[in-house]
């Protein structure tokens, strides 16, 4: 077995798609067109990213690596607010700071203190790890922010009762922070609990297929799972903390204009 | 004061005062802004113009905590905000502002008793108590906090006669000041004054004692 798929091997894999497509046609589900569009988009995007990453890895310049990570961060932040149903105009700089600090800090810890590549800014480590942290932080923060602000809006009378009973804003939001945090981390806790038995994670699978030893793949996987968990918890907490002052008015009322 | 909502003026050029111990009833058509007026007194509904003064303290973001510490708000179906009634009664005393004033068990029982609530209700889940009991628990909590100003929004409309009698006994105490929205003639008759919402203005109405 070689370290990568050859073009004929890739075409054989594409042929596998004929099965669901044939079923869609046969059952008249109307899904052929969307599936083909998604397949083409995925293939073109990954091919372009592959070429781009190849160039970045070969260049291995800290400025270029940082710029690409900046693009990833901006895109993730844009998506978080859009999917959480919150107004980007009000939140963008604050959530950017929260996600940037939590992902950047955790990735720096893992790469610089655990992996210790030479040079320390090696794009081959920095970009995939930041990408994995961002992807997972994005999902958890969409769940967390949507749940946090949505719950306060849905339970306005209860929230106002806390304020009237003398709660400071940070005390009044605590029950909603608790449920938002649970919503954000539950999928990860479930994945962590079943990892290795029910599923082999993508990063580990990729490493094994690329020829790495199972021991090395597991070591990286443990490191990345811990980093993902820390990063998502920090990001949800920071996001809530940094957005409170724009989401509530001076009397502690939730501003309705934060929702899209 | 002036109140607006959704581009509509609910109340303009209004001046509403209640002396200490006075019971003022508010009545008016549905949606005219009576509940918004009550909420504006504790900073939960914005005033378009004017000022709220409670015990000489002008309501502002800086004084909202102090004003809210004196004022209780009891609605038709109050949110108790806890799992059990005991947790609900003690909830305010978990917040920094009241942490050092947690009442003793005996005071809890006395307060519940004054509202004809049995001691056993403390272990009941809030989700399992009736609307009338919820109102009395909310009142008990306010009394435990030493609040003397009550804003009461239509609490008798869903109550049985016994619960209504108890609620009235609890709130028409001489030491309490009360601003209440109601359509109940018996309730309004016990108020010292009744103010009516008419065409975006407040007018002294007939009724009261």
Q: B-chain residues within 8 Å CB-CB of A164?
A: 42, 44, 68, 71-73
Q: Tell me the average pLDDT of chain A.
A: 93
Asked if the peptide bond before residue A119 counts as cis, ω within 30 degrees of 0, the response is: yes
Q: Which of A105-119, A186-200, B93-107 has the lowest mean pLDDT?
A: A186-200
Q: H or E element: which one contains B143? A: helix B131-144
Q: B-chain residues within 8 Å CB-CB of A160?
A: 44, 79
Look at residue A12 and tell me whether its pLDDT is greater than 90.
Answer: yes
Hey, is the C-beta of B97 within 8 angstroms of any chain A C-beta?
Answer: yes
Whether residue B79 and residue A155 make contact (CB cut-off 8 A), yes or no, is yes
> Which pLDDT does position B208 carry in this prediction?
59
Look at residue A2 and tell me whether its pLDDT is greater than 60.
Answer: no
Using CA atoms, how far apart are residues B154 and B133, in angstroms rounded to an integer? 15
Mutation target vs B (from A154, A164, A254; most B CBs, 10 A cutoff): A164
Q: How confident is the model at residue B209 (pLDDT cuts 50, 70, 90)?
A: low
Give me the residue from A162, A166, A249 closest to B81, CB to CB. A162
Look at residue A157 and tell me whether its pLDDT is greater than 70.
Answer: yes
Q: A-chain residues within 8 Å CB-CB of B78?
A: 157, 161
DSSP conformation class of A4: S
Hey, is the C-beta of B125 within 8 angstroms of any chain A C-beta?
Answer: no
CA distances from B82 to A113, B92, B155 (A): 44, 11, 21
Whether residue A164 and residue B71 make contact (CB cut-off 8 A), yes or no, is yes
Using CA atoms, how far apart are residues B1 and B51, in angstroms rounded to an integer? 6
Q: How confident is the model at residue B206 (pLDDT cuts 50, 70, 90)?
A: low
Tabulate helix, strand, coil % of chain A (nearest 5): 80, 0, 20
Mean pLDDT of B186-190: 94
| B9-18 pLDDT, tens digit each | 888 888 999 9
Beta-bridged to residue B149, according to DSSP, are B71, B177
Mean pLDDT of A242-255: 96
Look at residue B194 and tell me whether its pLDDT is greater than 80.
Answer: yes
Q: A-chain residues within 8 Å CB-CB of B89?
A: none
Residue that has been written with the tokens 């306005």 in this structure: A156
Q: How confident is the model at residue A70 (pLDDT cuts 50, 70, 90)?
A: very high
| A124-153 pLDDT, tens digit each | 999 999 999 999 999 999 999 999 999 999
């Amino acid at each position: 077995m070689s370290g990568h798929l050859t073009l004929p091997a890739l075409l054989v894999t594409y042929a596998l798609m004929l099965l669901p497509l044939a079923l869609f046609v046969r059952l008249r589900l109307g899904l052929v067109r969307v599936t083909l569009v998604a397949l083409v988009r995925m293939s073109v995007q990954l091919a372009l990213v592959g070429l781009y990453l190849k160039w970045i890895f070969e260049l291995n310049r800290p400025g270029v690596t940082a710029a690409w990570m900046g693009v990833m961060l901006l895109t993730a932040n844009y998506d978080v607010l859009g999917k959480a149903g919150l107004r980007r105009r009000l939140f963008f700089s604050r959530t950017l700071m929260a996600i940037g600090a939590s992902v950047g800090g955790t990735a720096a810890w893992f790469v610089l203190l655990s992996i210790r590549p030479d040079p320390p800014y090696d794009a081959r480590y920095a970009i995939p790890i930041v990408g994995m942290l961002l992807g997972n932080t994005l999902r958890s923060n969409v769940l967390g922010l949507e749940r946090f602000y949505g719950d306060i809006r849905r339970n306005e009378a209860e929230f106002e009762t806390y304020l009237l009973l003398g709660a400071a804003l940070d005390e009044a939001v605590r029950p909603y922070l608790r449920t938002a945090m649970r919503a954000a981390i539950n999928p990860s806790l479930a994945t962590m609990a079943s990892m290795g038995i029910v599923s082999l994670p993508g990063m580990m699978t990729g490493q094994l297929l690329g020829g790495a030893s199972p021991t090395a793949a597991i070591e990286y996987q443990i490191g990345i799972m811990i980093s993902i968990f820390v990063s998502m918890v920090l990001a949800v907490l920071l996001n809530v903390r940094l957005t409170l002052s724009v989401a509530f008015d001076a009397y502690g009322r939730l501003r309705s204009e934060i929702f899209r | 004061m002036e109140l607006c909502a959704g581009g509509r003026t609910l109340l303009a050029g209004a001046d509403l005062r209640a002396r200490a111990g006075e019971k003022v009833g508010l009545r008016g058509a549905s949606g005219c802004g009576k509940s918004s007026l009550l909420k504006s007194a504790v900073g939960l509904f914005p005033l378009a113009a004017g000022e709220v003064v409670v015990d000489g303290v002008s309501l502002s973001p800086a004084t909202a905590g102090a004003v809210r510490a004196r004022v209780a708000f009891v609605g038709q179906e109050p949110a108790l905000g806890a799992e059990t009634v005991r947790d609900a009664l003690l909830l305010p005393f978990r917040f920094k502002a009241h942490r050092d004033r947690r009442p003793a068990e005996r005071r809890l029982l006395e307060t519940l008793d004054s509202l004809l609530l049995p001691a056993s209700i403390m272990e009941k889940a809030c989700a399992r108590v009736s609307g009338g009991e919820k109102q009395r628990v909310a009142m008990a909590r306010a009394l435990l906090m030493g609040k003397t100003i009550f804003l009461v929004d239509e609490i008798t409309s869903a109550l049985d006669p016994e619960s209504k009698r108890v609620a009235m006994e609890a709130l028409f105490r001489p030491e309490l000041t009360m601003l209440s929205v109601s359509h109940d003639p018996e309730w309004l008759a016990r108020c010292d004054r009744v103010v009516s919402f008419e065409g975006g203005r407040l007018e002294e109405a007939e009724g009261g004692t």
